[in-house]
């Protein structure tokens, strides 16, 4: 259990530093079935037992109509004795109609927005006041670099922010956790990770290049992740 304290420490730092969780919160956990969502749910359940505040957790799976099998995830939820929801939406048809199957980047962006919209709707229906998303540190770094390289922007993933209508707060408990740790932790814990299906056989080439660049930089510099956390925090603070 070497990884658990490291991840828990990073999650605890993010949660405490940004006051992500407060007493009486009802938190909808966006659960894809991937390594990050499993790690996030596991950490939130640990916090729920140890934190000085009381809060509820509701995992929600958005089945976007790509034919993904969530049966193993459902068995895992039942083992944990957690109430969870699977919301089935035909997002795949909408993406195919609006984007087609050529522009991978636009497809991923639209699919993500539609899934997020479903989570917002369900959160309000279930009287949740917060939504937890499983973005990790690599996601945050890659997003910043993608914005810089391709759209001349320094927009960053924020650890915590309010929805446009101010009705919901979105939190990212894994924002300080490198992707390699969630991947190793998922293997260590033998989580039944789901392989997501998609319209495309290949990944977004631009994001793939940025992802590979980040991996190379992290291998060559032991201070890379800590430096990037500081940079992301400074950029976010300037925009507040």
- pLDDT for res 113: 86
Asked whether the beta carbons of 87 and 60 are under 8 A apart, the reply is yes
Given a cut of 80, whether residue 23 has pLDDT beyond it is yes
Q: Encode pLDDT of 208-230 as tens digits.
A: 899 999 999 999 899 999 999 99
User: 67 versus 54: which is more confidently predicted?
Assistant: 54
> Which secondary structure element, helix H or strand E, spans residue 62, and what is its range?
strand 55-63
Percentage, residues of the chain above pLDDT 70? 93
Question: 3-239 adopts what CATH topology?
Answer: Rossmann fold (3.40.50)
- pLDDT for res 201: 52
Given a cut of 60, whether residue 168 has pLDDT beyond it is yes
- pLDDT for res 50: 92
- Per the prediction, the chain carries an average pLDDT of 91
State how far the alpha carbon of 216 is from the alpha carbons of 110, 122, 138, 182, 203, in Å. 29, 39, 12, 18, 19
Q: Which two tokens stand for residue 134?
A: 């499983």
Q: Encode pLDDT of 109-135 as tens digits.
A: 788 888 999 999 999 999 999 999 999
Q: Do strands 85-88 and 55-63 pair parallel, antiparallel, or not at all (unpaired)?
A: parallel
Given a cut of 80, whether residue 67 has pLDDT beyond it is yes
- pLDDT for res 238: 78
pTM higher than the cut 0.85: yes
pLDDT bracket for residue 204 (50, 70, 90): low
Given a cut of 90, whether residue 197 has pLDDT beyond it is no
Asked whether the beta carbons of 234 and 71 are under 8 A apart, the reply is no
Average pLDDT over residues 97-110: 68
User: 236 versus 174: which is more confidently predicted?
Assistant: 174
Start-end of H helices in the chain: 3-17, 35-50, 71-80, 91-99, 104-125, 137-151, 179-189, 205-220, 224-239
Q: How many CA atoms lie within 13 A of 8 on its CB side?
A: 15
> Which secondary structure element, helix H or strand E, spans residue 160, and what is its range?
strand 160-162
Asked whether the beta carbons of 235 and 155 are under 8 A apart, the reply is no
pLDDT bracket for residue 108 (50, 70, 90): confident
């Amino acid at each position: 259990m070497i990884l658990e304290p490291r991840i828990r420490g990073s999650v605890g730092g993010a949660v405490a530093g940004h006051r992500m969780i407060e007493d009486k919160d009802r938190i909808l956990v966006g659960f894809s079935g991937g390594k990050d969502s499993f790690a996030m749910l596991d950490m939130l359940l640990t916090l729920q037992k140890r934190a000085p505040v009381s809060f509820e957790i509701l995992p929600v799976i958005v089945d976007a109509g790509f034919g993904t099998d969530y049966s193993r995830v459902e068995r895992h939820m039942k083992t944990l004795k957690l109430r969870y929801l699977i919301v089935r939406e035909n997002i795949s048809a909408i993406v195919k109609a609006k984007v087609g199957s050529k522009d991978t980047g636009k497809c991923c962006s639209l699919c993500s927005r539609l899934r997020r919209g479903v989570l917002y709707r369900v959160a309000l229906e279930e009287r949740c006041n917060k939504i937890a998303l499983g973005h990790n540190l690599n996601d945050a770094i890659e997003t910043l670099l993608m914005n810089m390289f391709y759209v001349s922007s320094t927009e960053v993933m924020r650890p915590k922010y309010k929805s446009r209508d101010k009705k919901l707060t979105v939190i990212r408990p894994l924002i300080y956790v490198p992707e390699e740790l969630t991947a190793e932790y998922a293997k260590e814990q033998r989580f039944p990770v789901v392989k997501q299906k998609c319209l495309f056989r290949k990944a977004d080439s631009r994001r793939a290049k940025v992802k590979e660049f980040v991996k190379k930089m992290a291998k060559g510099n032991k201070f890379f992740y800590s430096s990037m956390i500081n940079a992301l925090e400074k950029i976010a603070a300037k925009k507040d």
